[in-house]
């Protein structure tokens, strides 16, 4: 069942989303060679709690930190550690906040110092896919149109689309119905409706699409070791389009 949210519920999600947008912008200024992912996690946790929210990842199915930090070939769910960022790395921060019982979820991949042109383009095109997906969102549109739009950007640039992970509905739970695939998929005939809240999140790789789960039972990496990028926004469907709750 895909729920729609009331104006009151949306305002709570929008507050959580605004805190996360400010956080990811702030992270832009602290991500540098030499900083550890544990330090990033502490900064994020304090930032979120200081603004009256809860860092929802913490304790979610046993996840031990407030943010997911995924470096280079790590696609998602990297666990913050003593590992320090290096010049030329990329790092995805994926984070969820809860405000008065309502959640927002967002992710962004950052460049650490200078990266290769190929890697910079991977980031650029993954972000572009998120916005291309968003561009077709409005009440009355089939959800699969969003998936198709995201897929078209990966195809155009020959990027791998990770299939094992998807976007999702969000609200009182971090993961609600429906699944939002990053490739055309006929499993869902869902028609978007005003008030539905979705986390849309393309995950692309510079190589093949295949991934492994590491022994820590969380970190998902590309099988071929190629770098991966991930951009995510929480949005609400409106009559004429959408409103991003985790950005402008």
Interface positions with Co ion (CB under 5 A): 94, 105, 107, 199, 232
Query: Could you say which of 27, 96, 112, 203 contacts ligand MF3 (CB under 6 A)?
Result: 96
Which DSSP symbol is given to 60?
G
Q: What's the min distance (Å) between Cβ of 64 and Co ion?
A: 16
Pure H helices in 109-215? 117-135, 143-156
Q: What's the min distance (Å) between Cβ of 166 and Co ion?
A: 9
70: helix, strand or coil: strand
For the segment 155-214, give every residue that binds ligand MF3 (CB under 6 A).
Answer: 199, 201
Contact pattern for ligand MF3 over residues 98 through 127, marking x by CB under 6 A: -------x----------------------
State the number of binding residues for ligand MF3 (CB under 6 A): 12
Q: Is the dihedral of CA 183, 187, 193, 195 positive or negative?
A: negative
Q: Does 232 bind ligand MF3 (CB under 6 A)?
A: yes
Q: Does 57 bind ligand MF3 (CB under 6 A)?
A: yes
- How many Cα neighbours within 13 Å face the side chain of 30? 19
Q: Does 48 bind ligand MF3 (CB under 6 A)?
A: no
Report angle CA 213, 216, 221 to the nearest 5 degrees.
35
Closer to ligand MF3 by CB, 43 or 191: give it. Answer: 43
Cα Dmax for the chain: 48
Burial of 25 (0-12, 13-18, 19+ CB in 10 A): exposed
Residues forming the site for ligand MF3 (CB under 6 A): 57, 60-61, 63, 68, 77, 94, 96, 105, 199, 201, 232
């Amino acid at each position: 069942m895909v729920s729609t949210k009331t104006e009151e519920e949306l305002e709570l999600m929008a507050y959580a989303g605004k805190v996360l947008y400010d956080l990811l912008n702030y992270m832009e200024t602290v991500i540098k060679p030499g900083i550890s992912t544990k330090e990033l996690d502490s900064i994020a946790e304090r930032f979120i709690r200081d603004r009256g929210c809860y860092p929802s990842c913490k304790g979610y199915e046993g996840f031990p930190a407030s943010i997911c930090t995924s470096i280079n070939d790590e696609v998602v769910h990297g666990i913050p550690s003593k590992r320090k960022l290096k010049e030329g790395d990329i790092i995805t921060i994926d984070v969820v906040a809860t405000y008065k019982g309502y959640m927002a979820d967002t992710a962004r991949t950052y460049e650490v110092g200078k990266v290769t042109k190929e890697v910079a383009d991977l980031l650029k095109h993954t972000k572009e896919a998120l916005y291309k997906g968003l561009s077709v969102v409005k009440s009355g549109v089939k959800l699969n149109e969003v998936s198709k739009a995201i897929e078209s950007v990966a195809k155009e640039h020959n990027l791998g689309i990770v299939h094992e992970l998807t976007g999702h509905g969000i609200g009182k739970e971090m993961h609600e119905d429906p699944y939002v695939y990053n490739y055309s998929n006929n499993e869902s005939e869902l028609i978007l409706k005003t008030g539905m809240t979705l986390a849309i999140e393309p995950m692309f790789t510079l190589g093949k699409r295949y991934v492994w789960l590491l022994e820590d039972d969380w970190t998902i990496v590309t099988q071929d070791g190629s770098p991966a990028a991930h951009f995510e926004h929480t949005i609400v469907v409106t009559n004429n389009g959408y409103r991003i709750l985790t950005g402008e």
